[in-house]
């Protein structure tokens, strides 16, 4: 009862009483469903072509899933947090310690990892109200470093130098390849869920309020926005999301080391993903994360591990050449589409 029809410019699918039509025209390619669909096909294709690509994809998804809440945080608090990896560390260490010492599986460590991240964010949140500009940058930049120092000082708990091992794996089906592909899909689901939720928030009235805070806090306060409430809630929610990715890292690699996640290099990767896509643009963050991860993979394969040197250079060039990222170029031409405009016929 299903009939297909392919014409020059459209595909039509008809069932008994429904009709779907897809117009093949570049301006409809902006439909995010197409791109998300392609991402879902990717692991299955990579499984047969080059299984190593799945690993890169997982990394890209996780990086995007950090860059997305980070963008939300930047938009909602009107400040750039230079230490989002602090919450990756918290989520990861909580999951790792609970799994190692209490033998908890990933499903049981998840609520604890997120809850502790949220609690840490709640304690951290007054800074979003009090500190501004350079002071906020300095404090947020220092916190992951301080946390790393703590993991080294209390090395009997955190194993700061070597990292914690023996964390229960995220998925355990007995078949390594299937595990891998399941993890790829799980990371993709988390990333897409973040993307959907955050994009929905940004396009709603709360997004508009956040944009107002981002533009001018005092004026936003004057027109009736409870800026402290909005800033704290955004900050805590975004931190919880980042903490969840820490949990994912810990169970995915079955090990967790501050050396990897609490250092400047990792922070730089998150930043580069955000900047390439465009500050505080959601789809841009995903593009940026994929770009950075694949660039890193190519660099390691063909030039050697010089990304700690090259990434800052790329970031600097981008700051001057393309301050609003790839999506900034698009936005400059078509900013009207960013927020709904209404057209009144006279």
Query: What is the contact surface with another protein in residues (CB under 8 A)?
Result: 204-205, 208-209, 211-212, 214-216, 218-227, 335-336, 339-342, 344
Structure tokens at 195: 């993307």
How far apart CA 250 and CA 92 sit, in angstroms, is 5
- Phi first, then psi: what are they for 256, rounded to 5°? -145, 125
CB of 204 to another protein, least distance (A): 6
Q: Which is nearer to another protein, 15 or 204 (CB)?
A: 204
Contact at 8 Å (CB) between 136 and 79? Answer: yes
How far apart CA 324 and CA 277 sit, in angstroms, is 8
Contact at 8 Å (CB) between 120 and 126? Answer: no
CB of 271 to another protein, least distance (A): 21
CB of 200 to another protein, least distance (A): 12
CB of 41 to another protein, least distance (A): 34
How far apart CA 196 and CA 191 sit, in angstroms, is 9
How far apart CA 123 and CA 236 sit, in angstroms, is 9
Nearest to 92 by CA among 259, 214, 206: 259
Contact at 8 Å (CB) between 92 and 250? Answer: yes
CB of 219 to another protein, least distance (A): 5
Q: Which is nearer to another protein, 76 or 258 (CB)?
A: 76
Q: In this structure, how many other beta carbons lie within 10 angstroms of the beta carbon of residue 313?
A: 9
CB of 211 to another protein, least distance (A): 6
Q: Which is nearer to another protein, 31 or 204 (CB)?
A: 204
Q: Which is nearer to another protein, 125 or 255 (CB)?
A: 125
Q: Which is nearer to another protein, 20 or 335 (CB)?
A: 335
CB of 26 to another protein, least distance (A): 23
- Secondary structure (3-state) at 285: helix
Q: Which is nearer to another protein, 176 or 344 (CB)?
A: 344
How far apart CA 338 and CA 120 sit, in angstroms, is 33
- Secondary structure (3-state) at 83: coil
Q: Which is nearer to another protein, 217 or 296 (CB)?
A: 217
């Amino acid at each position: 009862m299903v009939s297909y029809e392919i014409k020059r410019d459209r595909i039509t699918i008809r069932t008994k009483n429904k009709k779907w039509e897809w117009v093949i025209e570049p301006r409809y390619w902006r439909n995010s469903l197409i791109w998300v669909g392609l991402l879902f096909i990717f692991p299955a294709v990579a499984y047969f072509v080059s299984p190593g690509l799945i690993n890169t994809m997982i990394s890209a998804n996780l990086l995007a899933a950090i860059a997305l809440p980070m963008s939300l945080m930047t938009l909602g608090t009107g400040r750039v947090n230079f230490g989002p990896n602090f919450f990756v560390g918290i989520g990861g260490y909580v999951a790792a310690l609970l799994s190692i010492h209490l033998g908890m599986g990933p499903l049981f460590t998840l609520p604890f990892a997120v809850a502790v991240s949220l609690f840490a964010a709640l304690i951290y949140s007054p800074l979003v109200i009090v500190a501004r500009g350079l002071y906020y940058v300095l404090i947020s930049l220092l916190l992951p470093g301080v946390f790393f120092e703590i993991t080294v000082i209390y090395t009997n708990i955190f194993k700061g130098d070597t990292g914690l091992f023996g964390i229960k794996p995220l998925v355990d089906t007995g078949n390594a390849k299937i595990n891998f592909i399941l993890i790829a899909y799980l990371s993709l689901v988390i990333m897409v869920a973040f993307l959907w939720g955050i994009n929905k928030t940004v396009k709603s009235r709360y997004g508009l309020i956040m944009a107002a805070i981002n533009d001018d806090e005092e004026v936003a306060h004057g027109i009736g926005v409870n800026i402290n409430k909005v800033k704290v809630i955004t900050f805590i929610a975004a931190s919880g999301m980042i903490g969840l990715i820490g949990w994912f890292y810990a169970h995915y690699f079955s090990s967790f080391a501050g050396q990897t996640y609490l250092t400047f290099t990792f922070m730089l990767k998150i930043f580069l993903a955000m900047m390439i896509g465009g500050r505080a643009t959601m789809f841009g963050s995903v593009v940026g994360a994929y770009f950075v991860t694949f660039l890193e993979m190519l660099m390691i394969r063909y030039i050697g591990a010089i990304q700690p040197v090259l990434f800052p250079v790329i970031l600097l060039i981008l700051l001057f050449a393309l301050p609003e990222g790839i999506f900034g170029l698009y936005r400059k031409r078509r900013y009207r589409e960013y927020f709904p405009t209404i057209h009144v016929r006279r």
